[in-house]
Amino acid sequence: MRIGFLVEDILNISGGANVIIEYAAGLRALGHEVYVLSTKATELTGKPWHPRLEGLHLLPLQRAAEAGRFDFVFATWWFTWFHLWQVDADVYGYLNQSLESRFHAEIFLKRLNRITYSLPMLFVTEAKWIAEFITGVRPEAEVVYVRNGLSRSFFPLVESVPERKEGPLRVLVEGPWGVGFKGVPETFEMLDEARRAFPFEVGWLTSTSGGARPMPGGQPVELHEKVPIDRVRDVLRRYDVLLKLSRVEGMFGPPLEMFSQGGTAITYAVTGSDEYMVHGHNSLLVEPYNRGEIVRYLRLLDARRDYLTHLRTNALETARAFPDWEATARSLEKELERLKRQGYRNAHLRGSLAALASLHKQVHDEVEATRRTIGPGEYALLEHYRRIKGHPLVRNVTGVIPRSLKQRIRSVLGGNRS
C-alpha cells in the first residue's frame, strides 16, 4: 500500500512527532511505500533528534503528486487536515492524537479545529476516550483505535528496580517552557514550596527551556535539554519519579517511558492517563484542583521508600506488558488491510475538504488582518471580552436590560457618532 502522513513540523522534538515517525517507519519496515508529506522544511541538517527520521521518505507537500495516487493519506496535527485535499487518495484519514482545540485559548482557533470532525472520514487514534468522542460526534465515521507502542530500541526495559533506602528523592520534571497547558512554570512553583520543606534533587527534561533557569528552594535544577530520543533513557534512569503536570493530553508517553527505566510518575488525572496509569499501583494521580496533594505525595515517597519501590516495581511490569512499536505498526496495517479488502473508500470527500480548506483560509486571513490592525495586546483583550460576554451569567443579566438603555450605555462609552 502507498501511505502518506501530512505533517507540519517533524524535524523538532515532540511526542506527537515521535508517534508519526514510529508509524511511518514501522509501516515501511512491513514493506509498504510510505511518504511523510511536509508543509514545512524537509531537509535534515545535522544529526536528527530521532534516528528513524533518516530512513523516511520526506517530501514537500507540493511535490506529493510525484508519488502518485495514495491508498491512504492521513492528516496529523489539525492544521494539516486543511491540506488533505491537495493529495490524490482513495482514503482520507486523520491520525488524531488529541482533541487539539484544547491547545488554544483563541475562540476562532477552537471553532476552526471543530471543522476537522465535520466529515465522515477515517479516524485513527491512540486513546479510547478520543475514539469514543469521535464516535459520539460523527457516528458514521470509520474509527480505529490502536494503542501507541513503547520502543524497546530506545527504551530497553531495566531488569529490576534497584532499592534506594538512602539519599534524597530524585525528581524529574518533564515538559517545555512557554506552552501554557504543559504546566511547567507551576510545577516549579510547587517544587519551590516542597523544597523548602525537605531536600530532594530536581532535574528538568525538556525540548526547549526558553532560556528559563528555575531555582526551586533557591537551588538550581539540572537541565536536560534537546536530548535525542535514543539518549533519553540515560536521563530517566537517574531519577526516581517523573513529575508531569500537563492539563491537556491525548495519551502521553513520558510516564510510560519512565516506567520502562524503573521509575514511577506523578501526573494530573488528564484524559488518556487511564490507558496505563493506575493510582497507588504504578503511579500517583492528582486532580488539577487538588494540586496541594503533590507536595504531600513527594514527602510520602521520600519518607516511605518501601512504597516508592512498590510503585516503581509495578510501573516496570506495566511497561513490560505494553506493546512495542513493531506490534502497533502491525495492528494498524491489519486495520488498513481490512478496510481495503472491504472496499472502503472516501475519495468523494476531496471536494468537501477543498471547500472547508478555503473557509479555513478566509477566516484565518481575516483574523490575522485584525491582529495586525489592532495589535496582539488589544486582540488578547478582545478575546477575553468575548469570553466574558458569552458567559451564561452575563447573558442572563444582559437579557433583562432594555434595548434602549443598552444603546444609551454604548453611546456614552463609545462616543456619540451621530
Cell 466574558 appears where? 388
| Cell numbers linked to 302 | 521520600
pLDDT tens figures, 58-81: 999 999 888 899 999 999 988 999
Question: What pLDDT does 418 receive?
Answer: 38
pLDDT tens figures, 195-208: 988 999 999 999 99
Torsions phi, psi of 144, nearest 5?
A: -120, 125
**Segments of the chain with pLDDT less than 50:** 379, 409, 412-413, 415-418
The full set of domains in the chain, from first to last, is 2-149+325-364 (3.40.50.2000), 170-321 (3.40.50.2000), 375-414 (no CATH)
The Cα 84–Cα 88 span in angstroms is 9
The Cα 266–Cα 282 span in angstroms is 10
Cell 535539554 appears where? 225
Question: What pLDDT does 251 receive?
Answer: 87
Q: Whole-prediction pTM value?
A: 0.84
Question: What pLDDT does 139 receive?
Answer: 95
Question: What pLDDT does 169 receive?
Answer: 96
Question: What pLDDT does 44 receive?
Answer: 73
Question: What pLDDT does 288 receive?
Answer: 85
Which bin fits 46, alpha (ψ -120 to 50), beta or left (φ > 0)? left
How do strand 2-7 and strand 142-145 relate by DSSP bridges?
A: unpaired
